[in-house]
Amino acid sequence: MTRNFDQYTKKRLSRYYELARQEAERLRDRKVNSIYQTYPEIKELENKKIQAGIVQIRNKISGFVEQNTFELAEIEQELTKVLNLYNIPLDYMEPDYSCKICHDRGWIGDSYCSCVDRVLIEINQQTNLYLPAPDQTFANFDLNVFSNQKNPVFFQGQLSPQEAMRGLRTIAKRYVNNFHDNPENLYLFGTTGTGKTFLMSCIANELSNKGVNLVFIRAVKLFELMAQRRTLLNSFSPDPEERDLVNRKFDLINKTELLCIDDIGLEAKGLLNTYSDLIVLLDDRYNANLPVIMTGNLKPSELAEDYDERIQSRITGNYQLLMFEGPDLRTQTAKGKMEQSAD
């Protein structure tokens, strides 16, 4: 299949496959570890096999007679016996790639694998579903909209909102640069109109341009989706099409490389079980080493009281906390506009 994709699509494809392989290998590691824990004799035999292999190589190099080939074969026989005994496949160390043809590389020889079509649909679906506003970028970041006056109400008068924002922008750029080596969780909190969503969008747009696959979703939408999913789960005869669609969306959110949740607030209060669903989502992503960025107007200390203690403990434990303070830019801009139109 000779195909030509634009640079951006190529980047996204290669990132997609890289992550798919990593995920398959991560699951393999977990599986192998649990096998070793349950059957220590298997681990012992694998270790012996490695040792015997090393001795064999050494002997070959130094021109020794190969008497230990026999030992290696014996160990392998024993290993096969034990694996069969416990019904463990002999290739248990092979990752379970989702494409058996290309092993999640997207390529066979010098042409694209047929799984590329499925992946493209997935990637495009994501692009169409949830992305940040495209104009909220570092290039469009104007520090001058933030007040340069120190005010005792903000940052105890130690920093002007502009100085604080300059620091936060540096942190955000560093986050982007370190994303692949050290993907961290962030919680951006502060009152309305202080630039939290804007900064999160800058990060998301920059990473998206680098081919990172991400989901940017408003908390209200996420909670709606989780409630819908739960209703379908509890329904005796759910509409299969609706169920598939909701599951697909949720799967996307669960597995995307970076999840950005905008404006975590109190909107889900009263919706049954949504907090538990959010906690499961956050835990799944944490265990899979998939980062989350959230914005919200609640201080970490207010999260337990107004939200949920379990969410608070996760955020304060696993998230870098970024504080935003300053006058509400939205009312300021609206005021400015009104004054202008009054002229």
Q: Which residues bind Zn ion (CB under 5 A)?
A: 99, 101-102, 113, 115
Nearest-angstrom CA–CA distance, 255 and 90: 29
How many C-beta neighbours within 10 Å does residue 20 have?
21
Burial of 85 (0-12, 13-18, 19+ CB in 10 A): exposed
Enumerate long-range contacts of 73-77, CB under 8 Å, 24 or more apart.
75/45, 75/48, 75/49, 76/49
Strand, coil or helix: what is 147? coil
Work out how close the CB of 312 gets to Zn ion at its nearest, in angstroms, rounded to a whole number.
43
Contact of 212 with 258, CB cutoff 8 Å: yes
Work out how close the CB of 9 gets to Zn ion at its nearest, in angstroms, rounded to a whole number.
16
Residue closest to 191 by CA, chosen among 224, 154, 235: 154
Nearest-angstrom CA–CA distance, 90 and 46: 12
Closer residue to Zn ion in complex, CB, 32/120: 120
Work out how close the CB of 119 gets to Zn ion at its nearest, in angstroms, rounded to a whole number.
8
Strands, E, within 221-299: which ranges? 258-264, 292-296
Closer residue to Zn ion in complex, CB, 105/173: 105
Work out how close the CB of 249 gets to Zn ion at its nearest, in angstroms, rounded to a whole number.
24
- Letter string b/e over residues 281-300, b meaning 16 or more CB atoms within 10 A of that residue's CB: bbeebbeeebbbbbbbbbee
Work out how close the CB of 101 gets to Zn ion at its nearest, in angstroms, rounded to a whole number.
5
Closer residue to Zn ion in complex, CB, 83/113: 113
String of DSSP letters for 184-218: -EEEEEESTTSSHHHHHHHHHHHHHHTT--EEEEE
Work out how close the CB of 23 gets to Zn ion at its nearest, in angstroms, rounded to a whole number.
15
The half-sphere exposure of 322 on its side-chain side, counting CA atoms within 13 A, is 24
Nearest-angstrom CA–CA distance, 121 and 126: 9
Work out how close the CB of 112 gets to Zn ion at its nearest, in angstroms, rounded to a whole number.
8
Closer residue to Zn ion in complex, CB, 1/65: 1
Closer residue to Zn ion in complex, CB, 115/298: 115
- Alpha carbon dihedral 232, 233, 238, 241, in 10-degree steps, equals 70
Closer residue to Zn ion in complex, CB, 16/319: 16
Work out how close the CB of 11 gets to Zn ion at its nearest, in angstroms, rounded to a whole number.
18
Closer residue to Zn ion in complex, CB, 99/268: 99
Strands 319-324, 185-190: parallel, antiparallel or unpaired by DSSP?
parallel
Closer residue to Zn ion in complex, CB, 103/196: 103
